[in-house]
Structure 1
Amino acid sequence: MIRRIALVHIYSCSAALLEISFMEEWINGLILIMLSIGHAELWVTFINRTHALPVHEPLLKKTRHVTYFMILAFPLFLFVMVGLYSPGVLRGGEWSQLSFWWKPVFLLCTLGFLGLLVSVFRHLFYRIPRLQTESQSEIINVRERLGQTLIGNGPYHYLAGLPLNEIFSVEFSRKTFVLDRLPTAWDGLKVLHLSDLHFSGTLTRDYFCELCRIAQESKPDLIIFSGDLVDEMHCLDWLDETLGQLQAPLGRYFILGNHDWNQLSEQIRMSLTRLGWIDVSSQTLRLEHAGHSMLLAGTEVPWMGQHPVLPSQLGGESADFLLLISHTPDNYYWACSQGYDLVLAGHTHGGQVRLPLIGPVFAPSVHGTRYTSGTFYRKSTLMHVSRGVSGIHPLRWLCRPEFSLLTLRSGE
């Protein structure tokens, strides 16, 4: 009897120890996964910030390759050296037995994981500013509408045919903004905001012709293009049948972006101006309408030119309303300090790929994914960031391409 009780006790203790050992291994494995995610977030942060700088594409491509390798290789190295290599934490070892040099690595990875949590919470709790009072969207499946594949032979064309890719499912969004300084006489002013066309031959000319035709049917008063027009110079021939077909009573205004900077930017600029588009990069233009004046300004910083100087800062006459076209949303804080009423930007493509709950991961911005797309308000400045129509990489998951018709209402 005593022997049986002893055996039962030994068996119970052994089972408890095995359960504790299993729980410790499970927790340690979870910690290793969190450290791997934090490490990946650090590299994503690096790639996002470097792509916001005036660095040419060949060097950026090398940094992307290094980043992808490090993101994939580090978890394997971590699990082998920390988890399995004797005395690994997944084989009964203790964290305290690890080399001292692992401590700063773990600290950085932990900070990266916390940074990811901040981005996720910011994405989940994003709220549209109260100044945006209405929003409607029409989803246009261009491929079904035209009955064509619309895939050419340009760079990365194989990505366009991947499953669940939304590159041909374009969102035509209509948004209404109430702006305090907008003159009452301008109430209902319609602004067509286009960005990031990325002509490269990957998506055929017919794709862009159809979108421009739909945009023209909305009958805008003013048309704004916020940069990144061409990735392959031979596609400049498309301008006549695309942007050249757009017309608006108050004119068509543009700036260029970083992809144009990587091409023959001056030739692109001249081709647009020959079609009647007005270049506002690094300058300001006064637009008179219904007895009031709008100051239109453009900035291609940090890739080209400089920030425009307001006439009022030089002793000149101010305007009733200030509108800034900026390729990147990174110039938002500068625009707020200058007192602009409305900023129209693009460049970030909404992240192009969005993960459920997590949201966008890659965004070429010094602010990471904070201003990837949507409407933002700070001080007295409202900013609208377009997800853009295309991209050099024709891949969109949970992040449709977009062009927008913005209706401006007077706060009075």
Structure 2
Amino acid sequence: MEAIANGLILLMLSIGHAELWTSVINRTHALKIHEVYLKRLRHVLELLMVLFPLVLLFAVGLSDPGVLVGGEWSQLPLWWQPILLLCTLGFLGLIYSGVRHQFYRPPRQQTAQESELIHLRERLKQDLIGEGPYHYLAGLPFNEIFSVEFTRKTFQLSRLPEKWEGLTILHLSDLHFSGTLKREYFIELCRIAQEMKPDLIIFAGDLIDRMECLDWLQETLGPMQAPLGRFFILGNHDWNQESLQIRQTLSETGWIDLTAEPVRLQHEGQTLFMAGTEAPWMGKLQDVKLSEDNAADDFLLLVSHTPDNFHWAEREGYDLVLSGHTHGGQVRVPPFGPIFAPSLHGTRYTSGTFFRGSTLLHVSRGVSGIHPLRWFCRPEISLLTLHSADKK
């Protein structure tokens, strides 16, 4: 029995070690580091995750003193103690993340949600896997990449003008055109999204992973329309490509770049102040700070590719923040939830709705990714309906 207990402890320590390096991967992928270097770092860390359990098994479990063969933990060399302590903390961190995931509930500012699941393969009756990078992942069993969740969420916001009751925003993010998923997949998604008839359309970044797919814009985002306009920012994957050309091409289809300068949109006699930030990859946060002449009754909307700018937006007084980037984790491991998330906050803001101070954040799970794999984490397109708070 003691050997079994010690074996379980070694397993716990191995999992904790993997969680520590996963935490490093998550946070380095939130920084302004080119994908070439991130990939090299990730490969090294993934190798360490695989090798450490073997080292632990032989150095601690089987070799003298060998806790799996009758030895005692107290007989280990002292230098093992800080290593095992860190691994234990890593395991406790994973447990904490799992508990937080299980107890997550949307804030009271989200008053309703309903979803419609659309299976694109069945709908289009064709093979939607192309020849792009990692195309083999798209065909793995139980992959949910072709089962897209169209969600309708209702938000109640205290500073929303009463004349804007029922204002709708289509929140799109992370299309990741790479050729791995065929053009027809995205054409149909955009067509279905347009059927929601939103007042305003926002795209929150990560559009192109291969420049050969730039001409897809004419048939996907190009035809989309909304009475109050179509606005966009770019993301870190666009930064890794030819971002200036991507920005220009999307602008030529009629979409408005929110990072060029903030937009003051007049609607029903009230002002919607919209700004966009692609920090830390392109631009700086101070480039989109509110100007001193903003009226106190302006409603303030920030589009930030990463949710890492949420706390900054709350300090600046934004009412609503729309983000993507984290893909909901793409793979969620029951009961722990997402493990990988490119964020300085780890898996805290992978998807959903969050509230701080007077600022509401909505993080989309996005549509695709350079790695076309979704387990327990379906792609998402959201229609957000805004209502003013009860003035009673």
Common fold by TM > 0.5: yes
Whether contact under 8 Å (1:196, 1:390) holds in the other structure is yes
CA deviation map 1:155-177 (0-9, x unaligned): 00000000000000000000000
Shift of 1:31: 1.1
Q: 1:240 aligns with which of 208, 213, 218?
A: 218
1:191 aligns with: 169
1:285 aligns with: 263
User: In the aligned structure 2, how far is the partner of 1:100 from the partner of 1:349?
Assistant: 42
Q: 1:389 aligns with which of 367, 387, 390?
A: 367
Question: Which sections of structure 2, spanning at least 5 residues, go unmatched?
Answer: none
User: In the aligned structure 1, how far is the partner of 2:167 from the partner of 2:60?
Assistant: 62
Whether contact under 8 Å (1:194, 1:404) holds in the other structure is yes
RMSD: 1.0
2:196 aligns with: 218
The amino acid that maps onto 2:379 is P
Which runs of structure 2 are paired with 1:368-407 in the superposition (5 Å)? 368-407=346-385
User: In the aligned structure 2, how far is the partner of 1:410 from the partner of 1:124?
Assistant: 30
The amino acid that maps onto 2:229 is G
Q: 2:23 aligns with which of 27, 45, 48?
A: 45
TM-score by length of 1: 0.93
1:160 aligns with: 138
2:82 aligns with: 104
Shift of 1:310: 4.0
1:30 aligns with: 8
1:86 aligns with: 64
Name the structure where helix makes up a greater proportion of residues: 1
Shift of 1:309: 3.7
Q: Which one is further off, 217-226 or 97-106?
A: 97-106
User: In the aligned structure 1, how far is the partner of 2:43 from the partner of 2:301?
Assistant: 38
The amino acid that maps onto 1:360 is P
1:20 aligns with: none
Whether contact under 8 Å (2:326, 2:343) holds in the other structure is yes
Runs (4+) off by over 6 Å: none
User: In the aligned structure 2, how far is the partner of 1:316 from the partner of 1:151?
Assistant: 48
User: In the aligned structure 2, how far is the partner of 1:186 from the partner of 1:282?
Assistant: 26
Whether contact under 8 Å (1:282, 1:299) holds in the other structure is no
Shift of 1:87: 2.2
Question: Which sections of structure 1, spanning at least 5 residues, go unmatched?
Answer: 1-22
User: In the aligned structure 2, how far is the partner of 1:311 from the partner of 1:67?
Assistant: 40
Shift of 1:311: 4.2
2:243 aligns with: 265
Say if 2:191 is the partner of 1:206: no
Shift of 1:103: 0.9
Whether contact under 8 Å (1:354, 1:399) holds in the other structure is yes
Aligned residues: 389
Q: 1:326 aligns with which of 289, 297, 304?
A: 304
Aligned in 2, Cα 1:258/1:309: closer, same or farther, shift over 3 Å? closer
Aligned in 2, Cα 1:351/1:230: closer, same or farther, shift over 3 Å? same
Q: Percent identity?
A: 69
Equivalent residue of 2:222, what SS? helix
User: In the aligned structure 2, how far is the partner of 1:315 from the partner of 1:407?
Assistant: 28
Shift of 1:316: 4.8
Which runs of structure 2 are paired with 1:330-341 in the superposition (5 Å)? 330-341=308-319
Highest CA radius of gyration, 1 or 2?
1
Shift of 1:104: 1.1
Say if 2:206 is the partner of 1:228: yes
User: In the aligned structure 2, how far is the partner of 1:237 from the partner of 1:111?
Assistant: 48
Whether contact under 8 Å (2:290, 2:316) holds in the other structure is no
1:7 aligns with: none
